Structure 1
Amino acid sequence: MAAGTQSIGWTIADWAAAYANHQTPQALLSELLLTFDQDEPAWIWIASEAQLDRQLAQLAKLLADHQGDKSKLPLYGVPFAIKDNIDAKGWSTTAACPAYQYQAEVDATVVANLQAAGAILLGKTNLDQFATGLVGTRSPYGAVPNTFNPEYVSGGSSSGSASVVARGLVTFSLGTDTAGSGRVPAGFNNIVGLKPTRGWLSTAGVIPACRSLDCVSVFALTVDDAVKVAQAAGGFDAADPYSRQNPNTASTKVSSKPKLAIPDKLEFFGDKQAEQVYLQSLEKLQAMGCEIEAIDYSPFSELAELLYYGPWVAERTVVLNDLLKSDPDAINPVVANIVRNGEKYSACDTFAAEYKRQALARTIQQTLSAYDALVVPTTPTIRTLVEIEQEPVAYNSQFGTYTNFTNLADLSALALPSGFREDGLPAGITLIASTWHDQALADLGKRWQEFLSLPLGATGRAYTSHPDADDNLASSVKVAVVGAHLTGMPLNFQLTTRDAVLIETTKTAPEYKLYALPGTTPPKPGLARDSKGESIIIEIWEMPIARFGEFVREIPPPLGIGNVKTEDGRIVKGFICEPWALEGACDITHFGGWRAFIQNKNQTEKGIACSVPY
Structure 2
Amino acid sequence: MPATSTLLQNPAAAVEPLTIGSLLAAYRSGAVTPGKMAADLLARIDAAGRDEVWISRVPAKQLKQQAAALDLMLQIKGEAVFETMPLFGIPFAVKDNIDVADMPTTGACAEFSHVAPASATVVQRLQAAGALLVGKTNLDQFATGLVGVRSPYGAVRNAIKPEYVSGGSSSGSAVAVALGQVLFSLGTDTAGSGRVPAAFNHLVGLKPTRGLISAHGLFPACRTLDCISIFAHDVADAWRVLQSAAGYDDADAYSRKPAMLGVKRRGYRIAVPDAPEFYGDAAARDAYERTLSQIAAMPGVTLKKIPFDAFTDAAQLLYQGPWVGERRAALGEFFTHHGADMDPVVRQITAQADNYDAVDAFNAQYRLADLRREAETLLEGSDLLLVPTTTTFPTIAEVQADPVVRNSQLGYYTNFVNLMDMAALAIPGAWRGDGLPAGVTLIGPAGSDHLLAEAGAQFQRVLGGAAQADAIAAAPLPFNEATVQVCVVGAHLSGQPLNWQLLEAGARRMAVTSTAARYRLYALAGTTPPKPGLARTADGDGAAITVEVWEMPLRQFGGFVAAIPAPLGIGTVELADGRAVKGFICEPAGIAGAADITHHGGWAAYLASLA
After TM superposition, give the deviation of residue 161 of structure 1 in Å: 0.5
TM-score between both structures, scaled by the size of structure 1: 0.81
Q: What is residue 578 of structure 2 aligned with on the other side?
A: none
Q: What is residue 323 of structure 1 aligned with on the other side?
A: 334
Q: Does the CA-based 8 Å contact 1:173-1:220 persist in structure 2?
A: yes
TM alignment of 1:293-312, pairs within 5 A: 293-312=304-323
Alignment counterpart, residue 338 of structure 1, candidates 349, 372, 379:
349
Q: What is residue 298 of structure 2 aligned with on the other side?
A: 288
After TM superposition, give the deviation of residue 128 of structure 1 in Å: 0.3
Alignment counterpart, residue 570 of structure 2, candidates 560, 570, 579:
560
Q: What is residue 10 of structure 2 aligned with on the other side?
A: none
Say if 2:433 is the partner of 1:422: yes
Alignment counterpart, residue 118 of structure 2, candidates 101, 106, 110:
106
Say if 2:33 is the partner of 1:24: yes
Q: What is residue 553 of structure 2 aligned with on the other side?
A: 545
Alignment counterpart, residue 49 of structure 1, candidates 57, 60, 63:
60
After TM superposition, give the deviation of residue 557 of structure 1 in Å: 10
How many angstroms apart in 1 are the aligned matches of 2:201 and 2:504? 34
Q: Does the CA-based 8 Å contact 2:312-2:412 persist in structure 1?
A: yes
Q: What is residue 582 of structure 1 aligned with on the other side?
A: 588
Q: CA RMSD in A?
A: 3.9
Q: What is residue 607 of structure 2 aligned with on the other side?
A: none
How many angstroms apart in 1 are the aligned matches of 2:223 and 2:401? 30
Structure 1 residues not aligned, in runs of 5+: 1-5, 455-462, 485-491, 518-523, 566-572, 592-614
* AA partner of residue 300 (structure 1): F
Q: Does the CA-based 8 Å contact 1:379-1:402 persist in structure 2?
A: yes
Secondary structure of 1:170's aligned partner:
coil
Q: What is residue 468 of structure 1 aligned with on the other side?
A: 471
* AA partner of residue 471 (structure 2): D
1:166/1:563 CA distance change after superposition, 3 Å:
farther
* AA partner of residue 178 (structure 2): A
Q: Does the CA-based 8 Å contact 2:522-2:532 persist in structure 1?
A: no
Secondary structure of 2:332's aligned partner:
helix
* AA partner of residue 389 (structure 2): T
How many angstroms apart in 1 are the aligned matches of 2:469 and 2:303? 27
Q: Does the CA-based 8 Å contact 1:177-1:217 persist in structure 2?
A: yes
Paired-residue identity, %:
42
After TM superposition, give the deviation of residue 213 of structure 1 in Å: 0.1
After TM superposition, give the deviation of residue 548 of structure 1 in Å: 3.5
After TM superposition, give the deviation of residue 69 of structure 1 in Å: 3.0
* AA partner of residue 44 (structure 2): T
* AA partner of residue 238 (structure 1): D
Q: What is residue 267 of structure 2 aligned with on the other side?
A: 257
1:408/1:401 CA distance change after superposition, 3 Å:
same
1:546/1:271 CA distance change after superposition, 3 Å:
farther
Moved more, 284-293 or 366-375: 366-375
Say if 2:131 is the partner of 1:123: no
After TM superposition, give the deviation of residue 19 of structure 1 in Å: 1.4
How many angstroms apart in 2 are the aligned matches of 1:365 and 1:57? 52
Secondary structure of 1:150's aligned partner:
coil
* AA partner of residue 451 (structure 2): A
How many angstroms apart in 2 are the aligned matches of 1:382 and 1:433? 25
- C-alpha deviations, 1:430-484, integer Å up to 9, x for none? 0000111000000011111122225xxxxxxxx5758535624344988859799
After TM superposition, give the deviation of residue 108 of structure 1 in Å: 0.3
Q: What is residue 180 of structure 1 aligned with on the other side?
A: 192
Q: Does the CA-based 8 Å contact 1:8-1:169 persist in structure 2?
A: no
Q: What is residue 142 of structure 1 aligned with on the other side?
A: 154
Say if 2:176 is the partner of 1:170: no
* AA partner of residue 127 (structure 1): L
Say if 2:257 is the partner of 1:245: yes
* AA partner of residue 30 (structure 1): A
1:196/1:41 CA distance change after superposition, 3 Å:
same
* AA partner of residue 588 (structure 1): A
Q: Does the CA-based 8 Å contact 2:57-2:135 persist in structure 1?
A: yes
After TM superposition, give the deviation of residue 25 of structure 1 in Å: 1.3
Say if 2:236 is the partner of 1:224: yes
Q: What is residue 570 of structure 1 aligned with on the other side?
A: none
Q: What is residue 203 of structure 1 aligned with on the other side?
A: 215
Q: What is residue 164 of structure 2 aligned with on the other side?
A: 152
After TM superposition, give the deviation of residue 542 of structure 1 in Å: 9.4
Q: What is residue 22 of structure 2 aligned with on the other side?
A: 14
Q: What is residue 399 of structure 1 aligned with on the other side?
A: 410
TM-score between both structures, scaled by the size of structure 2: 0.81
How many residue pairs get matched?
550
After TM superposition, give the deviation of residue 588 of structure 1 in Å: 3.4
1:431/1:529 CA distance change after superposition, 3 Å:
farther
How many angstroms apart in 1 are the aligned matches of 2:456 and 2:549? 19
Alignment counterpart, residue 273 of structure 1, candidates 283, 299, 311:
283
Q: Does the CA-based 8 Å contact 1:89-1:107 persist in structure 2?
A: yes
Structure 2 residues not aligned, in runs of 5+: 1-13, 493-497, 515-519, 576-580, 598-611
Q: What is residue 606 of structure 2 aligned with on the other side?
A: none
Q: Does the CA-based 8 Å contact 1:163-1:189 persist in structure 2?
A: yes
- C-alpha deviations, 1:200-251, integer Å up to 9, x for none? 0011101100000000000000100101111101100000000001334x22
1:431/1:417 CA distance change after superposition, 3 Å:
same
Say if 2:44 is the partner of 1:35: yes
After TM superposition, give the deviation of residue 53 of structure 1 in Å: 4.9
Q: What is residue 91 of structure 2 aligned with on the other side?
A: 79
